[in-house]
Structure 1
Amino acid sequence: MRSKSGFKIMRREFNYMWRDRGLRKILLLGPILGLFLFMAIYQTQTVKDIPTAIVDLDGSSSSREISEKIKHAEHLKLRAYPQSYEDLEQSIRRGEIVVGVVIPENFGRDVARHHPTRVLVIVDSSNTVYATNASTAVLGVIRSISAEAGVKTLLARGMDPSQARKAFLTVDYREEGWFNPTLNYAYFLVLAMALNIWQQCCTMTASMNVIGETGMKSWLQVKASGVSRFKYFFSKSLAHLITFMLLVIPVYILALGIFKLPLSCGLGMLLLFTLVFAVSLHSVGTLMSSLANNAVDSTRFGMMVALPSFVLCGYTWPIEAMPGFLQSLVWILPQTWFFQGFNYLSFKDPGWSFMLPYFGGLLVISLVCYSMAAMATAWMER
């Protein structure tokens, strides 16, 4: 009889979630629509046609040669030739230009005399995506120009052309990118952003776990039925967790199978880690639900935790670069443990021993939050 009542509670919870049209649409469509949206945004993989301007204060043949090289650079798009540094500054401030190149006066004369000279490159770093791509593109052009100038200097000193090239290239420079060598933003962000939407949906659903019952008159009937409080909420929670996992599996199928986003670890490891994360999310939502006076307050609590958590978790901005008081505080969020671990699983597959602290952190959060929720619910009833 007891096992049957548990299944009845689960079936009742499934029916409640399904009959709520708004919640049903959010749970079913939110993560998948988010995946398609972010895949469409980042599918180009690199930023191209970066708006560029050149301030040529010299006007020599050497400066015009640099301008031509920049004009034909792969990811740069030459938009303007400002007459002064001040004009360039205004263009960058207005957002019309992202990269500015300033060729100094007497540049051609210094090159001809083999004197050191410097070209100023300005990158608008207010947008980190633009800044990263712009710096890489400009750096490639500057390296090429510098190498040619070095070879020309050796040739001017009477060295044989083949010897000049060998002498200049004695020290080889090579740059390597590991794990995501092409700086593919789709690989880095798309699935993570879709999972961010999923975790918000899960937290919002879990925030109704307790108050959705104790705040209703039907709670008196539930209490009169003789079902223990533990069994009742355990059955409800199990229904939630099954739903959460059923919703994330299509996201993984699309992301990993159709869009071919990277996953270095085994699928079993990823699903287990996601399940533990879902439990921790549910525990946080349940705790908020037990502390709230009504359903509206509980939803607000859920929003306050779920929305900023992705920004605070250190996935898109390093935790080490955050203010000191936040660097420890963010680890009380399950999202921090999950998205930090998810990044390792996606690109590096560090193994079970490395991932154990991340599993442990999520389990500790779950234990603490469920325990506090149980005590809060019992206290509220008394």
Structure 2
Amino acid sequence: MKEKRFKEIVSEGIADLFYIWWQELKAVVKDQGVLIFFILVPLGYPLLYTFIYTNETVREVPAVVVDNNRSTLSREYLRLVDAGPDLHIVSHCADMEEAKALLKEGKAYGIIYIPESFSRDIAKGIQTRVTLYCDMSGMLYYKAMLTANTNASLTMNKQIKIERSGNTTERQDEVSSSPIEYEDISIFNPQNGFAGFLIPAVLMLIIQQTLLLGIGLSAGTARETNRFRDLVPLSRHYHGTLRIVLGKSLTYFMIYVIMSVYMLCLVPKMFSLVQIAQAGTLFAFVLPYILACIFFAMTCSIFIHHREACMMIYVFTSVPLLFISGISWPGSAIPEFWKVVSWIFPSTFGINGFVRINNMGATLPDVATEYHTLWLQAGIYFLTTCIVYRRQITLSRTHVYARLKEIKNRHKPKEV
């Protein structure tokens, strides 16, 4: 008898689970706001971000020159600067005031200042200097300015060493100009570009943020359409915590498995970004990340009482989360307090692990810390989600019973 009753309960639970899954799936399809966050944003944002950074590096940055030396050596230096791919000298100015005016007008992003003593100092064997002024509104402008002038100065230094060495053979010239030969190789980012290191992190962050926004919007809708502003409706299908949590999460999981394949596999392939991850390793790592993000978003949805609230609460967190993840900003430079705060979010471990797997060819043992932490987060946030929804079921019943009692008292005949 007990075994039969147990089978009935399990059968009823599974039936309710799929009923809730189907109802949630229909709600997602019918709600334009949720559909935008779950489908359109994951489809469009990766293309937009990747297309913006598709050139990887900034080339031919406009720069102006103030050459107070006007010698053969200064013109040779400027020729070397302009010959590289990073800078393009657009004007030679008479003084710094004219150069600053062009910088303010946006016609140039940097100034190269050559002092009057430039060639004289070199002739005397005295170290000279070239001063650079850069528009720091974009760090890539500074990088282009510094790279172009550094390469030009190294080339000119080499030529000066050879001229003063008094060598008789080319081999002696090579040794005197470059006693130690070095080779600069950009590991895991061959083009040394912006998209190669930033886009993978952005793609993982989009998964978490769109889930937060979509599930939050859905929770706000559920409360607004409920008579008592409760998250869980009073229905015979919604009287079990596990069936509600698993039914809703199954809907989100099915959608985001497809979206993750598109964002993490197809988008990098479309734009020829670095992608050396093994398919099995990538799937095994992304699985706990999606689950952690889903249950984290469902837990956070308890704070959403109106549809618009999730936009105000979650949207502004995207940029800070990217910084404290340790990808956009060096992890060693992040204060300990913010490091601890970053551990709350699945994106921190998801971004770091995905970048190492996708861009560096790491295996699961190589990202064991991130992988195990994501499973731990998935388990913890699953429990918090169950607690949240159990509380909501209790509140929903309490409100309905209170309402029924009020109606009963209202219609109770009064004693004469």
TM score, norm. by length of structure 2: 0.80
Whether 2:342 is the aligned partner of 1:333: answer no
Q: CA deviation at 1:93?
A: 5.9
**C-alpha distance in 2 between matches for 1:94 and 1:321:** 35
**C-alpha distance in 1 between matches for 2:110 and 2:233:** 68
Match for residue 101 of structure 1?
A: 112
Q: CA RMSD in A?
A: 2.8
**C-alpha distance in 1 between matches for 2:56 and 2:311:** 36
The answer on whether the counterparts of 2:121 and 2:128 sit within 8 Å (CA) in structure 1 is yes
Match for residue 128 of structure 1?
A: 139
Secondary structure at 1:6's aligned position in 2? helix
The answer on whether the counterparts of 1:99 and 1:123 sit within 8 Å (CA) in structure 2 is yes
Secondary structure at 1:182's aligned position in 2? coil
Query: Which of the numbers 30, 44, 58 marks the counterpart of 2:55?
Result: 44
Q: Deviations over 1:205-225 (max 9, x none)?
A: 222565655664487864434
Query: Which of the numbers 153, 168, 187 marks the counterpart of 1:160?
Result: 168
**C-alpha distance in 1 between matches for 2:110 and 2:309:** 47
The answer on whether the counterparts of 1:114 and 1:153 sit within 8 Å (CA) in structure 2 is no
**C-alpha distance in 1 between matches for 2:369 and 2:120:** 61
Whether 2:68 is the aligned partner of 1:68: answer no
Question: Which stretch of the first structure deviates more once superposed, 253-262 or 215-224?
Answer: 215-224
Q: Counterparts in 2 of 1:221-232, with a 5 A limit?
A: 222-225=234-237, 227-232=239-244
Decide whether aligned partners of structure 1 residues 150 and 89 sit closer, same or farther in structure 2, where only a CA change above 3 A counts.
farther
Q: CA deviation at 1:302?
A: 3.8
Structure 2 segments unaligned to the other structure (5+ residues): 1-10, 399-416
Q: CA deviation at 1:180?
A: 1.0
**C-alpha distance in 2 between matches for 1:46 and 1:78:** 18
Q: Deviations over 1:1-46 (max 9, x none)?
A: 4223322221121111111123224322212222222232222222
The answer on whether the counterparts of 1:123 and 1:135 sit within 8 Å (CA) in structure 2 is no
**C-alpha distance in 2 between matches for 1:7 and 1:74:** 59
TM score, norm. by length of structure 1: 0.87
**C-alpha distance in 2 between matches for 1:188 and 1:145:** 33
**C-alpha distance in 1 between matches for 2:371 and 2:36:** 30
Secondary structure at 2:69's aligned position in 1? coil
Secondary structure at 2:182's aligned position in 1? coil
Whether 2:198 is the aligned partner of 1:192: answer no
Q: CA deviation at 1:96?
A: 4.2
**C-alpha distance in 2 between matches for 1:340 and 1:280:** 15
Whether 2:276 is the aligned partner of 1:264: answer yes
Match for residue 352 of structure 1?
A: 364
**C-alpha distance in 2 between matches for 1:153 and 1:220:** 84
Structure 1 segments unaligned to the other structure (5+ residues): none
* AA at the equivalent of 1:22: G
* AA at the equivalent of 2:23: R
The answer on whether the counterparts of 1:47 and 1:75 sit within 8 Å (CA) in structure 2 is yes
Q: CA deviation at 1:148?
A: 0.9
* AA at the equivalent of 1:278: I
Whether 2:260 is the aligned partner of 1:248: answer yes
Secondary structure at 2:343's aligned position in 1? helix
Q: CA deviation at 1:188?
A: 2.2
Q: Deviations over 1:312-350 (max 9, x none)?
A: 322212233234532322222211111111211122223
**C-alpha distance in 2 between matches for 1:328 and 1:314:** 12
The answer on whether the counterparts of 2:249 and 2:295 sit within 8 Å (CA) in structure 1 is no
Match for residue 172 of structure 1?
A: 181
Q: Deviations over 1:293-325 (max 9, x none)?
A: 444445544435556423432221223323453
**C-alpha distance in 2 between matches for 1:120 and 1:192:** 36
Whether 2:33 is the aligned partner of 1:33: answer no
* AA at the equivalent of 1:252: L
Q: CA deviation at 1:358?
A: 0.8
Match for residue 366 of structure 1?
A: 378
The answer on whether the counterparts of 1:290 and 1:373 sit within 8 Å (CA) in structure 2 is no
Match for residue 21 of structure 1?
A: 32
* AA at the equivalent of 2:87: L
Decide whether aligned partners of structure 1 residues 267 and 308 sit closer, same or farther in structure 2, where only a CA change above 3 A counts.
same
The answer on whether the counterparts of 1:10 and 1:239 sit within 8 Å (CA) in structure 2 is yes
The answer on whether the counterparts of 1:196 and 1:310 sit within 8 Å (CA) in structure 2 is yes
**C-alpha distance in 1 between matches for 2:33 and 2:65:** 53
* AA at the equivalent of 2:111: G
The answer on whether the counterparts of 2:43 and 2:263 sit within 8 Å (CA) in structure 1 is yes
Q: CA deviation at 1:88?
A: 4.2
Match for residue 8 of structure 1?
A: 19
**C-alpha distance in 1 between matches for 2:59 and 2:141:** 9
* AA at the equivalent of 1:7: F
